[in-house]
Amino acid sequence: MSYFAVFREAGPAWEDGKGAFSQPAVNEHAAYISALADEGVVVFAGPLAGSEQGRIRVLLIADAEDENTIHACLAEDPWQRTNRIVTTSVEPWHLFVGAERLAAVHDIRA
């Protein structure tokens, strides 16, 4: 498996003037991402710079076989299916510093 940095942001269906926790289907989205975390695909996830109060920007660290696997998993996210959020970038992440700590934490959760 390999790590990837995944960037997502508010899509065309994002309801401006509402934060992340006031968007439709927030509970379904959260449950879906949590399930991906339980499966070990999503290692870390969260909004950038307090963007959850406006047009959200998110960084996920994913562990997957390849970029296509990540796109396939995220395509089923209720927010992505409705264009509330879009995946803007999936980039291989070559972790050098802290790799042992991340591997240890990831192994504990698996």
**pLDDT tens string 58-108:** 999 999 999 999 999 999 999 999 999 999 999 999 888 877 776 666 665
CATH class of domain segment(s) 2-109 = alpha beta
DSSP state of 14: -
pTM score:
0.88
The phi and psi torsions of 23 (rounded to 5 degrees) equal: -75, 150
Q: Which residues neighbour 51 within 8 Å (Cβ) at sequence distance 6 or greater? A: 57, 58
Domain positions in the chain = 2-109
Q: Beta strands 85-92 and 57-64: pairing type?
A: unpaired
Cβ pair 1, 95 in contact under 8 A: no
